[in-house]
Amino acid sequence: MSAAARRVRLRALAKINLDLRVLHKRPDGFHEIRTVFQTISLADSIEIAFSPARKTSIELEQDVEIPGNLMLRAAAVVLEAMGKTGRVVMKLRKQIPIGGGLGGGSTDAAAVLRALPVLAGRVVPIPLLVRLASALGSDVPFFLFGGKAVGIGRGAELFPLPDGKARSAVVVAPGVQVSTAAAYRNLGTQLTAESARHAQDGFSAAVWGRESAMRNDFERVVFQQHPQLAALKQRLIKAGATTALMSGSGSSVFGLFRTKEDARRASKAFGNAASAVSLVSRRQYDRIWKRQLVPTYINQSI
């Protein structure tokens, strides 16, 4: 790689859904949802290097093969938006479980959207960046901002929430594969006007801080197909979690704990499938990104 190459090393943080309600199917084929996103300290490691060139080439080395990795699409669309060409070389080291409802693919794509303009010396307006993120996936826009936020519509329309007090959690990723499409399809048979009204009422209570009101509508159908996930939720509660929920459409299950010590102690009972994590506020998220987006010059391949 030429001496003009610039590189950043990033931590792309995961999320959990502190609440998730599915209301109805929209005319565009997507479902209308209400959710509360929350970033957590579990993160993938990414390196990105960029050097100007007459033609664009994008390379990705990943330690786990992910067909159709969104990072490649994210790099292509943000370069096009900037009107830049060049060589992009990326490395991905996965720590966020794949298919766990923790937003691993989305946060990696958002990391590329944020980093490449800095490496290319360009500024992409936030509205355009959000538009690019939304086209990549419903969860991607959230990872441009992090912290705690309400997501409505497909989940891409975001409204920030005040960060609560520092909390710890345990995330258990059992490796069960859950089809999001099948979960929506099975849930669709249970959606009625009355259920939508109750869902919105309960969601409002959860947003206003009633932990006892937190719910994930997908649990109704996913737990029927995968009862071991329901058992994990109960184990987390017995281990001292004040609240336990499935994240997204699964299959990861998390529990909130009062202290770091409680979370660490509980995580040991679940072995390698569990991670003790912290909830990451928007201010902390901003600080992490300010530290990360300081490029270094390199003269060899990453």
Q: From CA 104, how far away is CA 89, in angstroms rounded?
A: 19
CATH 3.30.70.890 residue ranges of the chain are 168-280
Domain covering 168-280, topology: Alpha-Beta Plaits (3.30.70)
Among candidate residues 20, 13, 15, the one with its CA nearest the CA of residue 222: 20
User: pLDDT class for 1, splitting at 50, 70, 90?
Assistant: very low
Q: How many CB atoms lie within 10 A of CB 46?
A: 24
State the pTM of this model.
Answer: 0.93
d(CA 120, CA 86): 9
For residue 116 the two structure tokens come to 């490449």
Q: How many CA atoms lie within 13 A of 58 on its CB side?
A: 16
193 pLDDT band, cuts 50/70/90, is low
Mean pLDDT value across residues 77-105: 96
Give per-residue burial for 261-292: e unless 16+ CB within 10 Å, then b. ebbeebbeebeeebbbbbbbbbebbeebbeeb
Residues with catalytic roles: 15, 139
Supply the pLDDT for residue 32.
87
| pLDDT for the residue 298 | 79
Mean pLDDT, range 294-300, rounded to an integer: 80
Provide CATH 3.30.230.10 ranges for the chain: 5-160+283-298
Note the pLDDT of residue 301. Answer: 54
Q: Who has greater pLDDT, 65 or 143?
A: 143
What's the pLDDT at 140? 98
What is the average pLDDT across 193-222? 79
Q: What is the pLDDT of residues 49-76, one digit of tens each?
A: 999 999 999 999 999 988 889 999 999 9
Reported as a single tens digit per residue, the pLDDT across 69-81 is 999 999 999 999 9
pLDDT at 42: 98
Out of 58-67, 135-144, 188-197, pick the least confident.
188-197
pLDDT tens, position by position, 234-292: 999 999 999 999 999 999 999 999 999 999 999 999 999 999 999 999 999 999 999 99
CATH tag for 5-160+283-298 (out of 3.40.1360.10, 3.30.230.10, 1.20.1050.10, 1.25.40.10): 3.30.230.10
Average pLDDT for the chain: 92
Per-residue model confidence (pLDDT) at position 27: 86
pLDDT at 161 over 70: yes
Question: Does the pLDDT of residue 3 top 50, yes or no?
Answer: no
97 secondary structure, DSSP code: P
User: Which pLDDT does position 195 carry in this prediction?
Assistant: 62
Whether pLDDT at 302 is above 60:
no
